[in-house]
Structure 1
């Protein structure tokens, strides 16, 4: 009876407990507990943050590359990026400069550098790519992308003619910016930033004030970091003639957005919209009966570029029912439902601590997958009668 039913599963990761691939496998397992004759299409998705490389490499049948890069605190680590469509690279700055690579209570935010992200870009250029997509969520840095630029050949010198150190420490001492030695291959490559962040570089909604505290910055640190980024932005304005301080998205990833725009001529796009476009997910929606999406938490922030909302809006072009399976949800879900999600299912089925929910994510998501499909069958049968 269910053999003609097609379900598209397109869920983001549940951070800290399950990757997008695992989440979708668990949901599929739940559906199969009800019926094994359903056609299931799994499309791993991401919004420019964690899992973006995996989603695009798997979805586009690409390949991985592994390189040694400089981590935020200066140590060497192994990082990966993807190659899709033969000449397109997919990067995540978090692989090289991410918050997961530091201890926010012990490590120095002033030292945190995006140099490794620049090394990732350089490695992608070594592969001869003509286009680069870079997800910039989850950064540990507040250096304005200076480290990234230094890795690509840009020089930032102080009043004594010395190169400033890696990290945010020397931003306030920048006297000259020299782009004469920047990697010439950049001019032949289109770089697209995948981000849902529209914060400017400086100000109360800028990189330091909004994101500094979650990276370990105290109130006093935030003021110092803000002053340094302001000086950096003013130096760019006076020496390169680019007004970057108030540009939307410049404050993303501790100002890496600004660095990518200024030195790599990058353009910023909504991460989920671009990812869904690259994956051509609409082809799966045209003959589908149900879409199941999800993420770790759904709340008011999900309205601003998160995967479930982007997927729901696209699915509604085809009048498809959309169910979101989530780790937790906010208080007011009305605006979320208005985007096209028909049902939100929390995986937590009884009072439990976060650690317990994470430890039992596989079982909880599987059970939610079963509940989602049963709810769909119930509504389908109700329409028939």
Structure 2
């Protein structure tokens, strides 16, 4: 029996690679002729770099950058020399989790460090960039990234703007003359896990600004500032991407990636699965086990278990989801190719206990699942 094991991370408990390993351990405990293939995945959010490195065998590199608040930091990125492909995860340089709750300021945080990572990739000879956008601390529309790549953003008096989204309200001139010429030869794919536009009630500021420290008044300021950025960008480039689905990802980084890097925006799970070669792995799999911390109605928007199920359904392979929690609306996953879904807890327990025992619980559920599956097939564990 060949089992393909491809979970996402279990937030605050296990990275995807450790989750896959725990599921494989449980599957093999079931005994019999079990072949478990581990293929950790991600949907473009935090942990995407780790999943891509594990799936592709790319080299992990690190660089000195500036974090979302402009402080010196160290950030990892990936390099696949054979394909001249660089993997850059926004959260490595400009991530929300790197900031303490009282440090989170959507007004002033910047994506400058992401631009520094892209420069590192260009210095290494990258011809293809896969940029993942989840987990950002920023709401600057990618302006910081542009500045790091050589663009100049000036106010009405010719002064360079301060970092952060709020400063974009004063943008008068977008000078792209100094932007790194090597970008012209770089093919960019951007992994997004949302379809929000840049502006408005579903835009970057309104939907994601509050979790990055923005008050209701500040949300309005940021939305107006991004509108100004979009106006100046449209006047400069002759094209307007503010309404593009995914433009609002990572505080507007989706907008900047499309407008200035000519990036293709794609659901993150599709990009990661393509890099990991999941479709080829499905051709001889008898069962797929996937999972993440929570399965709910929002999972259909592009989360890993549903993305895996949609692809596996095309190959006629059943998919079982192991989730830390089954939340309202999770049954909708059945319509997307999920055959069954199970929560991990083996009884009433506090969240801290569930997080601490996550690997153990994954292995136990996996063993029971595989035993049952083999029995249904007429075999014996």
**TM-score relative to the length of structure 2:** 0.96
Q: 1:43 maps to which residue?
A: 39
Q: Does 1:156 align with 2:153?
A: yes
Which structure 2 residue ranges, 5 or more long, are not aligned?
Answer: none
Q: 1:82 maps to which residue?
A: 78
SS at match of 1:381: coil
| Aligned with residue 14 of structure 1, among 10, 14, 17 | 10
Q: After superposing the two structures, state which structure 1 stretch, 260-269 or 176-185, moved more.
A: 260-269
1:66-87 alpha-carbon deviations (Å, 9 max, x no partner): 1011100111111111112340
Structure 1 position 106, deviation (Å): 3.5
Q: 2:293 maps to which residue?
A: 296
| Aligned with residue 219 of structure 2, among 215, 219, 222 | 222
* Distance of 1:245 and 1:286 partners within structure 2: 40
* Distance of 1:60 and 1:283 partners within structure 2: 14
Q: 1:58 maps to which residue?
A: 54
* Distance of 1:244 and 1:316 partners within structure 2: 33
* Distance of 1:121 and 1:334 partners within structure 2: 40
Task: Map 1:185-196; keep pairs closer than 5 Å.
Answer: 185-196=182-193
Contact 2:344/2:362, CA 8 A, preserved across alignment: yes
1:66-120 alpha-carbon deviations (Å, 9 max, x no partner): 1011100111111111112340011100000111111233332212100000001
Q: 2:107 maps to which residue?
A: 110
* Distance of 2:311 and 2:264 partners within structure 1: 23
| Aligned with residue 121 of structure 1, among 118, 122, 137 | 118
Task: Map 1:160-309; keep pairs closer than 5 Å.
Answer: 160-309=157-306
Which structure 1 residue ranges, 5 or more long, are not aligned?
Answer: none
1:31-77 alpha-carbon deviations (Å, 9 max, x no partner): 12211641111111111112222222221121111101110011111
Q: 1:345 maps to which residue?
A: 342
* Distance of 2:132 and 2:32 partners within structure 1: 36
Contact 1:345/1:372, CA 8 A, preserved across alignment: no
Q: Taking structure 1 as reference, are residues 107 and 332 closer, same or farther at Cα in structure 2, changes over 3 Å only?
A: closer
Q: 1:373 maps to which residue?
A: 370
* Distance of 2:99 and 2:260 partners within structure 1: 26
* Distance of 2:238 and 2:315 partners within structure 1: 46
Contact 2:152/2:160, CA 8 A, preserved across alignment: yes
1:275-322 alpha-carbon deviations (Å, 9 max, x no partner): 112222122221221110111111111111111111112212232221
Contact 2:45/2:193, CA 8 A, preserved across alignment: no
* Distance of 2:179 and 2:136 partners within structure 1: 23
1:205-228 alpha-carbon deviations (Å, 9 max, x no partner): 000000011111111111111111
SS at match of 2:299: helix
* Distance of 2:292 and 2:368 partners within structure 1: 16
* Distance of 2:5 and 2:156 partners within structure 1: 56
* Distance of 1:284 and 1:259 partners within structure 2: 34
* Distance of 2:107 and 2:339 partners within structure 1: 45
Q: 1:69 maps to which residue?
A: 65
* Distance of 1:38 and 1:249 partners within structure 2: 41
Q: Does 1:34 align with 2:30?
A: yes
**TM-score relative to the length of structure 1:** 0.95
Q: 1:336 maps to which residue?
A: 333
